[in-house]
C-alpha cells in the first residue's frame, strides 16, 4: 500500500509513519507534503499512490484548497485537531476522519475501512457516506490533547484534565495534579472539541471537568460558588445566566 502523507508538522508526520509501520508491514510512505503549494507541485508528477493521509490545516492554507485545484481520485483519510471540518471532509474522497492525536486503533480501523470500501472496488454510496458521517459525529469529541512543550509533544488525556482557563489571549490546560500547560486553541475552540457531558463552561474564562468539582454553594446575586480541585487562583463562580444549565449538567 503506497501512502502519501500531507502534514506540515514533521514530528507528527514521523509519529504517523511509525504508527503505520507498526500496524501494517505492507505500507510504504512514498513522500510527505507540507503545504498547499508543495502539494500542487507534487501532484503534477503523477506518481502512483493508493491512499492519502492528509492533515487539514497546513502552513499556507487548508488541504481542501489543494484538492480544489488538483484532480484527486485517490481515497483520503483526513486528520485534524478541529472536528468542525468533519462534514466538509466527507464531501471529498474521504474514507475516514481522525482527530489528533491519532489513536493507533482508530488508524487501524480507518485502513481496514479503506480496504473494504475502496480497494475492493466498492463505491461510497450515499447510504454508506451518511453512516460514516453519523458514526464520526457521534464519536468526534477529543479524548486527548497534544501539547507542544519545547521541542517535544506531550499527550494529555481528557480524564487527566481538571480545567481550562483563559488569561488574556492565552489558554491554559490544568491537569489534575496541578501542572499547567499552554494549548494552541481559544477557549471557545476547546469547548467545542470536548464532550459536553464531561466539560462545562461556567463563565467566560473557565471550562471545568465535572470530576474536579468538589463542592457547590449558593452565592449572592443568584450565582453559584464552586470548590474545585486542583485549585483555581480566583473564586470559581457560575454566572447567573448559566446556573440552571449548570445544575442540569451536574444532574445528568
What CATH number has the domain bearing residue 185? Answer: 2.40.50.1020
239 and 175 in one domain? yes
**pLDDT in the model for residue 90:** 54
- Under a CB-based contact definition with an 8 Å cutoff, are residues 78 and 98 in contact? yes
- From first to last of the 252 residues of the chain, give the pLDDT tens digit: 999 999 998 888 999 999 999 999 899 999 999 999 999 999 998 789 999 999 988 888 888 889 888 888 888 898 877 655 555 555 556 677 787 778 888 888 888 888 877 655 554 444 444 454 445 444 467 888 888 888 888 889 999 999 999 999 899 999 999 999 999 889 988 988 888 889 999 998 999 999 999 999 999 989 999 999 999 999 999 988 889 999 999 886
108 and 63 in one domain? yes
For residue 95, the enclosing domain spans 2-138
**pLDDT in the model for residue 129:** 46
117 and 165 in one domain? no
- Tally Cβ neighbours within 10 Å of residue 199: 21
**pLDDT in the model for residue 84:** 56
211 secondary structure, DSSP code: G
Burial class (CB in 10 A: 0-12, 13-18, 19+), 144: middle
The total number of structural domains in the chain stands at: 2
Burial class (CB in 10 A: 0-12, 13-18, 19+), 90: buried
Residue of 39, 16, 42 whose CA lies nearest to 29: 16
Taking the C-alpha atoms of residue 162 and residue 175, their distance in angstroms, rounded to an integer, is 5
What CATH number has the domain bearing residue 101? Answer: 3.40.50.2300
238 and 156 in one domain? yes
Residue after which a domain boundary falls, among 95, 116, 138: 138
**pLDDT in the model for residue 140:** 60
- Between β-strands 206-209 and 180-183, what pairing exists: parallel, antiparallel or unpaired? unpaired
113 and 21 in one domain? yes
Residue after which a domain boundary falls, among 110, 138, 166: 138
71 and 133 in one domain? yes
Amino acid at each position: 500500500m503506497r501512502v502519501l502523507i500531507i502534514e506540515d508538522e514533521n514530528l507528527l508526520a514521523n509519529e504517523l509513519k511509525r504508527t503505520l509501520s507498526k500496524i501494517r508491514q505492507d505500507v510504504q510512505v512514498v513522500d510527505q507534503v507540507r503545504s498547499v503549494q508543495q502539494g500542487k507541485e507534487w501532484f503534477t508528477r503523477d506518481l502512483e499512490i493508493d491512499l492519502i493521509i492528509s492533515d487539514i490545516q497546513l502552513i499556507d492554507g487548508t488541504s481542501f484548497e489543494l484538492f480544489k485545484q488538483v484532480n484527486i481520485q485517490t481515497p483520503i483519510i483526513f486528520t485534524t485537531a478541529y472536528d468542525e471540518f468533519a462534514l466538509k471532509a466527507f464531501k471529498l474522497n474521504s474514507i475516514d476522519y481522525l482527530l489528533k492525536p491519532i489513536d493507533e486503533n482508530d488508524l487501524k480501523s480507518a485502513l481496514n475501512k479503506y480496504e473494504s470500501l475502496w480497494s475492493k472496488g466498492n463505491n461510497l454510496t450515499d447510504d454508506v457516506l451518511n453512516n460514516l458521517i453519523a458514526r464520526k459525529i457521534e464519536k468526534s469529541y477529543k479524548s486527548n490533547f497534544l501539547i507542544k512543550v519545547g521541542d517535544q509533544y506531550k499527550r494529555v488525556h481528557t480524564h487527566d484534565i481538571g480545567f481550562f482557563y483563559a488569561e488574556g489571549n492565552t489558554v491554559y490546560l490544568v491537569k489534575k495534579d496541578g501542572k499547567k500547560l499552554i494549548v494552541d486553541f481559544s477557549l471557545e475552540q476547546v469547548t467545542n472539541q470536548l464532550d459536553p457531558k464531561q466539560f462545562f463552561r461556567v463563565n467566560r474564562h473557565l471550562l471545568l471537568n465535572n470530576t474536579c468539582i468538589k463542592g457547590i454553594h449558593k452565592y449572592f446575586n443568584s450565582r453559584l460558588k464552586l470548590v474545585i480541585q486542583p485549585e483555581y487562583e480566583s473564586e470559581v463562580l457560575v454566572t447567573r445566566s448559566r446556573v440552571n444549565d449548570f445544575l442540569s449538567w451536574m444532574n445528568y
